[in-house]
Structure 1
Amino acid sequence: MTGYLTALIAIIKREALRFIHQRERFVAALVRPLVWLLVFAAGFRAALGLSIIPPYQTYISYETYIVPGLCGMILLFNGMQSSLSLIYDREMGSMKLLLTSPMPRWWLLTCKLLGATAISILQVYAFLMIAALYGIKMPALGYIAVLPALVIAGLMLGALGLLLSSFIKQLENFAGVMNFVIFPMFFLSSALYPLWKMAESSDLLHDICALNPFTHAVELIRFALYGQVNPSALGWTLLAAIAFSGAALWGYSPEGTGIRRKS
């Protein structure tokens, strides 16, 4: 157990040092959601009407509605950003050194995933603090209750990025794949508008949004911020996290596609 713990601490420390040395990464992670919150929300507020839907007990502002979705945005972008660093490490050779260590490969990748998720959660709390200063405050208990939801959602989205990185050969190709995954996942979800609004426009779009794992991650965060549990969102997010993690571990295994390409 000492060896496993040492590997965990070392990898998380490496992720933290990389994050500290890339201050622009922290700023960029906050700029995206803040632009949506402070700029785009002002325009959407007049165009989109909101009804009283769980977990809300009364009418809310549009800015309040999109905060959970923007928390999910931070987790989504950072999950992909962390996977980008994996591809860079693989091209530089440090990834091969990591995977040939005495520790099991699944544990090393899990440590990498945990480290990236921890950093993402810190950025989410920084965003929630700025939102509170802007006047968008959640129940006090919600800031604590949301932590498990952020962990589960962060692991799910980080595992998705890990899966993508196992099948991408070159660093240059990852940007296109990121855009192909990130934007459909974000916009075809309940992050910016409730699902009943999508149903008014198109039943097909509603069904796609309902099947999107990111939708369930956002709803898990939304309910947790109000001290509630959404069993459906929790179940689907956990299921997606397990599926993505299993596929990613297979992709980085000796039998998987990703390792054979770079061996």
Structure 2
Amino acid sequence: MSARLIALRAILLREALRFTQQRSRFIAALVRPLVWLFVFAAGFRAALGLSITPPYQTYITYETYILPGLCGMICLFNGMQSSLSLVYDREMGAMRLLLTSPLPRWWLLFAKLIAGAVVAVLQCVAFLGIAAIYGIRLPLVGYLAILPAILIAALMLGALGLLLSSRIRQLENFAGVMNFVIFPVFFLSSALYPLWKMREAGPLLADLCALNPFTQAVELIRFAAYGQANLPALGWTVLAFVLFAALGVRGYDPGRGLTKSKG
């Protein structure tokens, strides 16, 4: 157990050092949700009406509604960025050294997921701070309850990235796959529009959004932001994490540090 904790600490420190040395990554992680919050939300505010639905007890602004979804956006992009770093490490040989250590392969990859999720939480904290300065604030209990929800969501999305990285062997192929995954996952969710709005557009569209694991992660964050537990969303998010992580770990060959996939 002590060896596993030492490995976890080393991986956390490595990811923290990489993150602090890549200031552009931190800025880019904040620019995307801030553009949605300050620019796009101003236009959608007049076009979209929002009814009183849980966890909200009164009418809210569109900026307030999309705040949890934008936290989910940060976790989604960070998960894809972490998976990109996995592909890069594999090509450079760092992943080969990591996976040939005597520690269990699943623990080493789980440590990578933990490190990426912690970075996502820090990015979300910075984003929520900027949003609070802008005037979009959560209840005090929400700032405490939202952190574990964001961590769980980040772990699930990081596991999705792990699964993708286990199927891609060349770095140049990853950008196209990222866009193919990110945009459907983000826009077919409740991050920007309530599910009842989606159902007005079409039952099939609403069903696709409801089945999207990212929707469950966003709803978990949304309820936690108001100090409420959404147990179904928690269950589906954890289940998606276990499934993605299991498939991702299986995709890595511990002997070569490469994937078994030919793609």
Superposition TM-score, scaled by structure 1 size:
0.97
Corresponding residue for 1:212? Answer: 212
CA RMSD of aligned residues (A): 1.5
Residue 148 of structure 1 aligns to a residue whose secondary structure is helix
Letter in 2 for 1:43: G
Asked whether the 8 Å contact 1:76–1:182 carries over to 2, the reply is: yes
Aligned partner of residue 78 in structure 1, secondary structure: helix
Deviation of 1:260 after TM superposition, in Å, equals 3.2
Residue equivalent to 2:128:
128
Does structure 1 residue 170 correspond to structure 2 residue 160?
Answer: no
Cα distance in 2 for residues equivalent to 1:132 and 1:94:
40
- The whole-number CA distance in structure 1 between the counterparts of 2:247 and 2:25 is 28
Q: 1:111 — aligned with what? A: 111
- The amino acid that maps onto 1:170 is Q
For residue 249 of structure 2, what is the aligned residue in structure 1?
249
1:101 counterpart SS class:
coil
1:145 counterpart residue number: 145
Opposite residue 2 of structure 1, the aligned amino acid is: S
Aligned mates of 1:163, 1:53 — CA distance in 2: 34
Query: Is residue 41 of structure 2 the alignment partner of residue 41 of structure 1?
Result: yes
Distance in 2 separating the partners of 1:205 and 1:211: 10
Whether the 8 Å CA contact 2:252–2:259 is kept in 1: the answer is yes
Deviations 1:165-211 (A, max 9, x none): 00001001111110010000000000001000000011110000000
Moved more, 30-39 or 103-112: 103-112
Identity %: 71
1:229 and 2:229 equivalent? Answer: yes
Taking the aligned partners of 2:255 and 2:19, their CA distance within structure 1 comes to 32
What is the Cα deviation at residue 102 of structure 1? 1.4
Q: CA deviation at 1:259?
A: 2.5
**Is the 2:198–2:206 Cα contact (8 Å) retained in structure 1?**
yes
Q: Is the 8 A contact 1:251 1:257 kept in 2?
A: no
Secondary structure of the residue aligned to 1:169 is: coil
1:61 aligns with 2:64: no
Deviation at 1:261, TM superposition (A): 5.4
After superposition, residues 1-12 of structure 1 pair within 5 angstroms as 1-12=1-12
Q: Where does structure 1 lack aligned partners over 5 or more consecutive residues?
A: none
Residues 1:157 and 2:133 are matched in the alignment: no
> Conserved in 2, the CA contact under 8 Å of 1:167 and 1:257?
no
Distance 1:145 1:67 in 2: 15
SS in 1 for 2:147: helix
CA distance in 2, matches of 1:255, 1:228: 45
Q: Secondary structure at the match of 1:259?
A: coil
CA distance in 1, matches of 2:53, 2:257: 44
CA deviation map 1:54-87 (0-9, x unaligned): 0000000000000000000000000000010010
Q: Show structure 1 runs of 4+ deviating over 6 A.
A: none
Distance in 2 (CA, whole Å) between partners of 1:192 and 1:9 is: 36
Q: 1:166 touches 1:257 (CA, 8 Å); kept in 2?
A: no
Question: C-alpha displacement at 1:138, in angstroms?
Answer: 0.2
Distance 1:19 1:48 in 2: 37
Q: How many residue pairs align between the two structures?
A: 262
Secondary structure class of the residue paired with 2:58: coil
Q: Cα 1:258–1:180, aligned 2, differ >3 Å: closer, same or farther?
A: farther
Does 1:92 find its partner at 2:92? yes
Deviation of 1:152 after TM superposition, in Å, equals 1.0
Aligned-residue offset at 1:257: 11
